[in-house]
Amino acid sequence: MSDKRLLQQLLRWKRGQIDPAELGWPSRSGRGRRSTGLSQAQVAHALYMTERTYANLERGSASPTSSFLDKVARVLRMDEHERTALYVYALGYEPPLPTDSYSGTSVAPEWHQAVSNVVGQPCYVNDVAWNVLAANDEAIRMFPQLRGQPPAFPEKNLMRWMLLHEDAREHHLVDWEKQWAKPAAAQLRTAVAAHPDNEDLQLLDKEVSEDPVVGPIYRDHSIAHTHPDGDTRPMRHAGYASPQGGTDHRDRCCERHTRSQLGSVTMCAAQPLGSPGTRLCLLVFEPKN
């Protein structure tokens, strides 16, 4: 089946799901009007365009823009799955961003259970603004721990911790400015631009921009970096345990923190498909002996 045929079937099906009366039109009835739902003319009227323009889309003979498709998706009340199919059938690729402003701020409860059940590998899920939504014990213990205190994340928001906390800058994230601050700042700039209505991102943008240390780095747009997948960076691992019989190379970065292992971490990042904007991260650590 061709993409044009799939596009036609999707649009016809969605038109048929909407009662014209809901948009102020009389219900379709009478001879030759046995089908239910909106007509092409009614959809075109709701889109403020000619019937021919909309009909060309439905026939697959148009070259639509993404903004045009988004208007169609709104009028036909498409959910994110249907909107994604609309893009794929009409343009050949998925939409770059979801329409739901709350997308990327949560994950299904099953993700919390799945992440917490991962053993032997630091693993966590963060939202579009880098707030930790779920994490396993190994991920929590990887970050710097205060002596005499139970394991805990130093900060719920990992971007705020990476860019603004002294623990990250001076102790935990090695070669902080080059290896961590510059790519992380670039990621934040992209996220702020992509999600202008997200309050957490807007607050981060203000805090980071005004900080005397990281602010100049953040305002330097010479680096573009959108995700950390595959990045390998030097860091200390607070929860690292030496292999049985191996030499313990852990030491203290300062008097406040427990001993930690110097090494490098490779970040493997993926996205839960049901929550566009969230990110699943696996942290693969390699100790430096």
* Cα-based angle 164, 168, 172 (whole degrees, multiple of 5): 175
Cα–Cα distance for residue pair 127/152, rounded to 1 Å: 19
Q: Are 8 and 61 in contact (CB under 8 A)?
A: no
| 95/162: higher pLDDT | 162
Q: How many domains does the chain have?
A: 2
Q: For the CA atoms of 136, 140, 142, 145, what is the dihedral angle to 10 degrees?
A: -160
On whether residue 98 sits in a domain, the answer given is no
Based on the fold, state whether residues 113 and 86 are members of the same structural domain.
no
On the question of pLDDT at 13 being above 70, the answer is yes
Which of 278, 246, 272, 248 has its CA nearest to residue 262? Answer: 248
Rg (CA), the chain: 25
Based on the fold, state whether residues 83 and 117 are members of the same structural domain.
no
What CATH number is given to the structural domain containing 43? 1.10.260.40
On whether residue 74 sits in a domain, the answer given is yes
Cα–Cα distance for residue pair 109/107, rounded to 1 Å: 6
Q: Are 27 and 110 in contact (CB under 8 A)?
A: no
Based on the fold, state whether residues 116 and 226 are members of the same structural domain.
yes
When mean pLDDT is compared over 82-86, 146-150, 182-186, the highest value belongs to 182-186
Q: Given this model, what pLDDT does residue 199 score?
A: 93
Q: Given this model, what pLDDT does residue 100 score?
A: 66
Q: Please say which residue of 29, 56, 91 terminates a domain.
A: 91
Cα–Cα distance for residue pair 82/156, rounded to 1 Å: 34
On the question of pLDDT at 271 being above 80, the answer is yes
On the question of pLDDT at 246 being above 90, the answer is no
Based on the fold, state whether residues 144 and 277 are members of the same structural domain.
yes
Q: Please say which residue of 57, 91, 125 terminates a domain.
A: 91
- Identify the domain containing residue 64 by its residue range: 3-91
Q: Given this model, what pLDDT does residue 1 score?
A: 42
Average pLDDT over residues 6-34: 79
Cα–Cα distance for residue pair 192/129, rounded to 1 Å: 9
Which of 189, 176, 195 has its CA nearest to residue 221? Answer: 189
Helix, strand or coil, per DSSP, at residue 260: strand
Q: Given this model, what pLDDT does residue 28 score?
A: 61
Helix, strand or coil, per DSSP, at residue 112: helix
